[in-house]
Amino acid sequence: MKKYLLKKYAELIVKSGVALRKGQSVYLLSSLETEDFAAMVVEECYKAGAKKVVVQWISSKVNKIGLKRGKKENLALILPQDEAMMKWRCEENPALISLTSSDPDGMKGVDMSKVAYINQVRYQAFHKYIEESENKYQWCIAGVPGAAWAKKVFPELSKKAAIEALWEAILKTSRADDGNGIENWKAHDEDLKARCDYLNSLRLKKLHYTSSNGTDLTVGLIPGVIFLGGGETNLKGDFYQPNIPSEECFTSPMKGEAEGIVYSTKPLSYQGNLIKNFWVKFEGGKAVDVHAEEGEEALRSILSLDEGAAYLGECALVPFDSPINNTGLLFYNTLFDENAACHLALGRGFTNLYPNYEKYTEDQIHEFGINKSMSHVDFMIGSKDLSIVGTTEDGKEVQIFKDGNWAF
């Protein structure tokens, strides 16, 4: 891949992704094998005036060994440096950049109940910092090819060729393959905002999903809660792009109002495990039963993370005829696959979607109906014949999606 395009991609992540402010610190997550590109991002951060860039290196190989060999109680121990880092992040509010490159099969064979236990303990220890810093900083998740990920997407190619092919796919779907990513995202934002404005004007109270694969699900919506797409604005007034790429217009539904069954249309890569061909059944808003042809243990572990993990936190609308879906690739990475077609998310909802959310406490907003959870797990449900019919507050039915795509 041309170094010039990679530098422009790094610039896109820093300037449009987190929209880094001069004098702001950065917290960067990166795999060890993507060090070269991470260095480009660090350089762009300092060129943009970063105060300090803190890098946390991730190794799925090391993590897997620990999870297989270590005792869960010891792995969940909170060390002084862990507490200090969370406190610093809460006080400093650094921009968060996450470079995703994980192996879709990297945690295969790991006891997912152990992972769930560790996540629960750490969330309980750090939730006060998480809630305190909510909506106060910019964050961006962007893709970078790892060897195992690239070979999963392009198994017929050599490792080098697969990495090159994945780079091409990432830059294309991220609107960065021509070196003009920043300008391209400005235009893309305008389209997403126009669609969200229309959806918000409808004042919808529920969505009904149906598809020939068996999906028949009705989800209730919260009065006044908006649809949002593309860039977001935090409480400090920073406008940033949390996901590169992104094709969705999304909202957070009413907790406790989901009835029916929904079938996945793409595999879900969760904690290094692939979950394939699954369905989720809802009653009273809660996922009461699931089944997967592969990875059912991992799927069930999602629902048990905490009380809110089995409820919906997001309904995202993405056309089947999206740039990502049109590549014909299955990315085995939620950032990309969730933006290929419509998806739902189990777990945490988005408090910043509630009108005048800054006037309320986190607990108040959750009481209004936005789900609270330590987790947020997206899974894809979009199909070529998916229909979504919305019902407005005055009882009118409006076709939102027809044959998998926007009906307006």
Specify the pLDDT at position 82. Answer: 96
Specify the pLDDT at position 134. Answer: 87
Over range 52-64, report the average pLDDT. Answer: 95
Whole-angstrom Cα distance, residue 360 to residue 368? 10
Question: Where in 284-361 does DSSP place strands (E)?
Answer: 286-294, 312-317, 343-347
pLDDT tens-place string over residues 346-399: 999 999 999 999 999 889 999 999 999 999 999 999 999 999 999 999 999 999
- Listing DSSP states for 45-102 in one string gives HHHTT-S-EEEEEE-HHHHHHHHHHS-HHHHT---HHHHHHHHHHHHH--EEEEEE--
User: Residue 260 contacts by C-beta under 8 Å, 6 or more apart in sequence?
Assistant: 209, 215, 216, 217, 218, 281, 282
pLDDT at 108 over 90: no
Whole-angstrom Cα distance, residue 99 to residue 30? 5
> DSSP 3-state assignment of 332?
coil
Residues pairing with 57 in the sheet = 30
pLDDT tens-place string over residues 259-316: 999 999 999 989 888 999 999 999 999 999 999 999 999 999 999 989 999 999 999 9
pTM of the model: 0.89
Q: Given CA atoms 352, 371, 200, 247 in this order, what sign does their dihedral have?
A: positive
245 cis-preceded (ω within 30 degrees of 0): yes
Specify the pLDDT at position 112. Answer: 86
Over range 107-131, report the average pLDDT. Answer: 90
User: Residue 97 contacts by C-beta under 8 Å, 6 or more apart in sequence?
Assistant: 13, 14, 17, 18, 26, 27, 28, 29, 41, 45, 139, 140, 142
CATH architecture of the region 3-173? 3-Layer(aba) Sandwich (3.40)
Q: What share of the chain is helix, strand, coil (3-state, %, to 5)?
A: 40, 25, 35
Identify the band that residue 172 occupies on the pLDDT scale cut at 50, 70 and 90.
Answer: very high
Specify the pLDDT at position 32. Answer: 95
Q: What ranges do the domains of the chain cover?
A: 3-173, 203-406
Whole-angstrom Cα distance, residue 56 to residue 59? 10
Burial annotation 370-403 (CB, 10 A radius, 16+ → b, else e): bbbbbbbbbbbbbbeebbbbbbeeeeeeeebbee
Question: Where in 284-395 does DSSP place strands (E)?
Answer: 286-294, 312-317, 343-347, 376-380, 387-392
Crossing angle between the packed helical segments 296-303 and 112-133, to the nearest 10 degrees: 40
| Higher pLDDT among residues 343 and 271, named by residue | 343
Query: How many Cβ atoms sit within 10 Å of the Cβ of residue 51?
Result: 15
Two structure tokens written together for 125: 């220890």
pLDDT at 1 over 90: no
